[in-house]
């Protein structure tokens, strides 16, 4: 088998050889992790990346000994600084977790007990594993909270988790993970639940602390931007196997495996804009239907006969390895295809006769005393009034994509709901086509697409009824016309008329979002509000949905109000942008101007915080992070 070891010759802190995980399935056992091998040395961060179902989190759980029975590790060796840990009892693993291996998960609230102060939780963890008295442990806890950048750490020791912001809680979780000076930290999507500016701080904090302390880090994420910023090497997983591994610089700049090339190409970039994103068609196969041979072959544009029959082994190239039957392609990604073209910046608002479809005129939304408990958490409150949206004015032109951008709680979703009449404004007016929306009854001219397609689709309804509902409600059509419209729109969004008889749970996340878009489109609206429509989706599926929205906009002349915290997605989609902070719009303008010449300090801070793949790749020095591949027997 091949196992990647760092060039610097250090002995690995974590060594995984031939790891295999088995879970029971309806039709026999399934294998979410299949014979994977890798190692991580002290101070190094290995990013493990792939779409949902690739096996990356399961690999982290296997190393932590946290696979829920009856799932189990059925093959391979896991060594921590030479000590075998895959064959230990649960009691022995408990002693290792928290002491020799620290863990950081996506949601800090699951790692913290809401009933205890953060200080007492860190002290307790130190006392469980170290020979220190309470006073020493308390002192160490304060110094840890200081090192993770918590202001006034001694006072914060007395806070309960709910009294801290999401970013502060994740800092506490990092302190908890490091409090016993572990050899290895496993971080599973540690920044996914955080705002973009907090994400950047947490990524660099984790990286700096682990480098300083010589801790090896396994960083599991679906986010290539996070990998580019934080990892030294990256392992790309597909259907339970590592299909490519190597230095971040090499793998992201010159991906050799077709799947990696597709993944990297499908990511929208903050620094440049493409007319459309590269799409990997299809989705990760379910565990009980993993294709034979190369599991990627049904989605691969380059598949040859051998691909469906034989499993390609990992083959070494200088600095890494990839598993593909094709000759190794050393060419860098085509930078020209990613470069901005003048047409990319053609905005519909530049069309001379473009008229406003939506006019937002000095609109405010204040929540009253019921919101006063929030005063502990937000500085925007005064006199028990939460100014969720505060004196905001802008307009959206027909046919353009207008984006509202800002961190959680900035008021962008509240504002969007006021525009479609779901929330009344406290003051000011929203006009749609010149008419005050406050006086409009529920109507077909605007529709919404939400972040979580599953939550927005009635699970007990067939797709036909879900999509037909707005047609019937608004009297758009009747009788056979309803079925004709539903079937036509399903085809338009890339589904088939046969899908109308199925239920939402029978579809993948991306397909469910296509159903939401079909439902939004079917009543022929003029405006669609897309509220974080791709944040719950894998990057390859995100590319499919963004391309779909753009082509439908073109075909139907739609106006889109696009709400997102993801600046790369906004860069790809928007003609004009409004940046929101604390309920107010701090900057608005042409998308290209905002991204290239941001005027407001908050916009500049937001842009600076975005993990940018191009910048990060350029920064990585290949000689420091390269690999050599050793051929091991067995
Ligand atoms: Fe594509 Fe075949 Fe390579 Fe798999 S082995 S990535 S199917 S070319």
Measured from the Cα of 306, ligand 1's closest atom is 2
**What is the pLDDT averaged over residues 419-445?**
85
54 inside domain: no
Q: Which residue among 237, 324, 327, 328 is best mutated to probe the pocket of ligand 1, counting the most ligand atoms within 8 A of its Cβ?
A: 324
* Rounded Cα distance, 163 and 112, in Å: 12
**Which strands, in side-by-side order, build the sheet including 401-405?**
446-449, 527-531, 559-564, 401-405, 576-581, 584-590
What is the chain's mean pLDDT, rounded? 85
Number of domains in the chain: 1
The confidence score (pLDDT) of residue 109 equals 77
Q: Tens digits of per-residue pLDDT, 50-75?
A: 988 899 999 999 999 999 989 999 99
115 inside domain: no
Q: What is the DSSP annotation of 317-368?
A: ETTEEE--SSPP--PPP-HHHHS--GGGG--GGGSTT--EEEEEEEEEEEE-
Among 54, 477, 117, 486, smallest CA distance to 286 is for: 54
Measured from the Cα of 302, ligand 1's closest atom is 8
The confidence score (pLDDT) of residue 380 equals 47
CA 292 to centroid of ligand 1, rounded, Å = 12
Q: Which residue has the higher pLDDT, 202 or 314?
A: 314
The confidence score (pLDDT) of residue 626 equals 41
Residue 332 banded pLDDT, cuts 50, 70, 90: low
Q: What backbone phi and psi angles, to 5 degrees, belong to 69?
A: -60, 150
**What is the pLDDT averaged over residues 409-429?**
89
CA 296 to centroid of ligand 1, rounded, Å = 6
Q: Which residue among 296, 310, 317, 321 is best mutated to probe the pocket of ligand 1, counting the most ligand atoms within 8 A of its Cβ?
A: 296
CA 305 to centroid of ligand 1, rounded, Å = 10
Closest-CA residue, ligand 1 atom 8, reads 303
Residue 368 banded pLDDT, cuts 50, 70, 90: low
Measured from the Cα of 307, ligand 1's closest atom is 2
Q: Tens digits of per-residue pLDDT, 340-366?
A: 344 444 444 444 456 899 999 999 998
The confidence score (pLDDT) of residue 528 equals 94
Q: Tens digits of per-residue pLDDT, 564-620?
A: 888 889 999 999 999 999 999 999 999 989 999 999 999 999 888 877 777 777 777
The confidence score (pLDDT) of residue 2 equals 52
233 inside domain: no
Q: Tens digits of per-residue pLDDT, 500-517?
A: 999 998 888 888 889 999
Q: Tens digits of per-residue pLDDT, 88-144?
A: 999 999 999 989 999 998 777 778 899 999 999 999 999 998 999 999 999 999 999
**What is the pLDDT averaged over residues 528-555?**
88
Rg (CA), the chain: 26
The confidence score (pLDDT) of residue 205 equals 87
In SS3 terms, 61-84 reads as HHHHCCCCCCCEEEEEEEEECCEE
Q: What backbone phi and psi angles, to 5 degrees, belong to 577?
A: -135, 145
CA 236 to centroid of ligand 1, rounded, Å = 14
Q: Which residue has the higher pLDDT, 7 or 157?
A: 157
**What is the pLDDT averaged over residues 170-197?**
88
Q: Which residue has the higher pLDDT, 386 or 587?
A: 587
CB 31 within 8 A of CB 287: yes
- DSSP letter, residue 314: P
42 inside domain: no
90 inside domain: no
Q: Which residue has the higher pLDDT, 339 or 200?
A: 200
Q: What backbone phi and psi angles, to 5 degrees, belong to 195?
A: -65, 160
- 395 pairs with which residues across the strands? 359
* Rounded Cα distance, 318 and 257, in Å: 14
Determine whether 417 is exposed, middle or buried from the number of CB atoms within 10 Å of its CB (0-12, 13-18, 19+). middle
* Rounded Cα distance, 627 and 47, in Å: 14
Residue 632 banded pLDDT, cuts 50, 70, 90: very low
The confidence score (pLDDT) of residue 622 equals 57
126 inside domain: no
- 220 pairs with which residues across the strands? 48, 188
Q: Which residues line ligand 1 (CB under 6 A)?
A: 257-258, 294, 296-297, 300, 302-303, 307, 312, 324-326
Domain containing residue 433: 358-615
Among 452, 535, 244, smallest CA distance to 546 is for: 535
Among 272, 276, 273, smallest CA distance to 550 is for: 276
- 359 pairs with which residues across the strands? 395, 431
**Torsion 584-590-595-601 (CA) sign:** negative
* Rounded Cα distance, 464 and 486, in Å: 7
Measured from the Cα of 312, ligand 1's closest atom is 5
CA 302 to centroid of ligand 1, rounded, Å = 6
Q: Which residue among 293, 302, 321 is best mutated to probe the pocket of ligand 1, counting the most ligand atoms within 8 A of its Cβ?
A: 302
Among 562, 475, 463, smallest CA distance to 503 is for: 463
* Rounded Cα distance, 395 and 356, in Å: 6
Q: Which of 168-177, 200-209, 292-301 has the lowest mean pLDDT?
A: 200-209
CB 556 within 8 A of CB 399: no
496: number of CA atoms within 13 Å, CB side? 1
Q: Which residue has the higher pLDDT, 249 or 375?
A: 249
* Rounded Cα distance, 606 and 579, in Å: 9
Closest-CA residue, ligand 1 atom 3, reads 324
The alpha carbon of 305 is separated from its chain's Cα centroid by a whole number of angstroms, namely 35
Q: Which residue among 308, 326, 327 is best mutated to probe the pocket of ligand 1, counting the most ligand atoms within 8 A of its Cβ?
A: 326
599 inside domain: yes
**What is the pLDDT averaged over residues 394-410?**
91
Structure tokens at 577: 């942008």
CB 269 within 8 A of CB 338: yes
The confidence score (pLDDT) of residue 278 equals 87
Segment (H or E) for 224: helix 224-230
- Identity of the highest mean pLDDT range in 263-267, 461-465, 520-524: 461-465
**Torsion 416-418-419-422 (CA) sign:** positive
The confidence score (pLDDT) of residue 32 equals 95
Task: Using the structure block, give the residue that is written with the tokens 């639940």.
Answer: 193
480 inside domain: yes
Q: Return the percentage of the chain with pLDDT > 70, whole number.
A: 89
Closest-CA residue, ligand 1 atom 7, reads 297
The confidence score (pLDDT) of residue 334 equals 56
CATH assignment of the domain containing 476: 3.40.50.300
134 by DSSP, 3-state: which? Answer: helix
CA 243 to centroid of ligand 1, rounded, Å = 10
């Amino acid at each position: 088998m091949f196992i990647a070891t760092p060039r610097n010759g250090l002995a690995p802190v974590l060594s995984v050889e031939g790891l295999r995980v088995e879970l029971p399935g309806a039709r026999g056992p399934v294998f979410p992790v299949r014979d994977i091998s890798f190692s991580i040395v002290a101070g190094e961060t290995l990013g493990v990346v792939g779409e949902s179902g690739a096996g990356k989190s399961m690999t982290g759980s296997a190393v932590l000994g946290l696979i829920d029975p009856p799932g189990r590790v059925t093959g391979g060796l896991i060594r921590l600084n030479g000590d075998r840990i895959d064959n230990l009892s649960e009691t022995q693993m408990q002693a290792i977790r928290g002491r020799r291996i620290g863990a950081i998960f996506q949601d800090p609230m699951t790692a913290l007990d809401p009933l205890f102060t953060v200080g007492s939780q860190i002290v307790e963890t130190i006392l469980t594993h170290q020979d220190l008295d309470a006073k020493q442990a308390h002192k160490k806890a304060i110094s840890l909270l200081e090192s993770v950048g918590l202001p006034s750490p001694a006072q914060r020791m007395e806070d309960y988790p709910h009294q801290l912001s999401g970013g502060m809680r994740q800092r506490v979780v990092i302190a908890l993970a490091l409090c016993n000076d572990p050899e290895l930290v496993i971080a599973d999507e540690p920044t996914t639940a955080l705002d973009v500016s907090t994400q950047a701080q947490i990524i660099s904090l984790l990286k700096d602390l682990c480098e300083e302390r010589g801790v090896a880090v396994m960083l599991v994420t679906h986010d290539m931007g996070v990998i580019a910023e934080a990892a030294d090497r990256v392992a790309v997983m597909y259907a339970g196997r590592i299909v490519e591994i190597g230095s971040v610089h090499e793998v992201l700049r010159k991906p050799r495996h077709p799947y990696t090339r597709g993944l990297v190409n499908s990511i929208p970039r903050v620094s440049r804009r493409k007319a459309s994103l590269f799409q990997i068609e299809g989705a990760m196969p379910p565990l009980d239907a993993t294709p034979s041979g190369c599991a990627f072959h049904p989605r691969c544009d380059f598949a040859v006969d051998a691909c469906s029959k034989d499993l390609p082994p990992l083959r070494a190239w200088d600095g890494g390895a990839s598993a593909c039957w094709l000759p190794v392609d050393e060419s860098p990604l085509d930078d020209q295809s990613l470069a901005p073209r003048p047409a990319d910046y053609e905005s519909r608002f530049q069309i001379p006769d473009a008229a406003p479809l939506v006019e937002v005129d000095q609109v405010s939304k204040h929540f009253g005393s019921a919101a006063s408990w929030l005063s502990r958490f937000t500085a925007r409150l005064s006199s028990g009034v939460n100014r969720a949206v505060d004196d905001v004015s802008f307009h959206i032109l027909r046919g353009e994509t207008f984006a509202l951008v800002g961190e959680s709680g900035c008021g962008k979703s509240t504002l969007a709901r006021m525009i479609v009449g779901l929330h009344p404004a406290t003051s000011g007016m929203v006009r749609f086509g010149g008419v005050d929306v406050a006086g409009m009854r529920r109507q077909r001219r605007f529709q919404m697409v939400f972040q979580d397609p599953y939550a927005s689709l009635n699970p007990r309804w067939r797709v036909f009824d879900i999509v037909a509902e707005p047609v019937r409600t608004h009297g758009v059509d009747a009788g056979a016309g309803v079925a004709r419209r539903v079937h036509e729109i399903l085809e338009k969004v890339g589904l088939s008329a046969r899908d109308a008889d199925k239920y939402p749970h029978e579809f993948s996340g991306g397909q469910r979002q296509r159903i939401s878009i079909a439902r939004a489109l079917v009543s022929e609206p003029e405006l669609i509000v897309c509220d974080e429509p791709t944040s719950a989706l894998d990057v390859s599926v995100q590319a499919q949905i963004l391309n779909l929205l753009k082509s439908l906009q073109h075909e139907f002349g739609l106006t889109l109000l696009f709400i997102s915290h993801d600046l790369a997605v906004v860069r790809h989609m928007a003609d004009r942008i409004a940046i929101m902070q604390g309920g107010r719009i701090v900057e608005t303008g042409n998308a290209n101007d905002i991204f290239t010449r941001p005027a407001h300090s908050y916009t500049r801070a937001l842009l600076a915080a975005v993990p940018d793949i191009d910048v990060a790749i350029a920064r990585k020095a290949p000689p420091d992070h390269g690999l050599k591949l050793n051929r091991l027997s067995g």
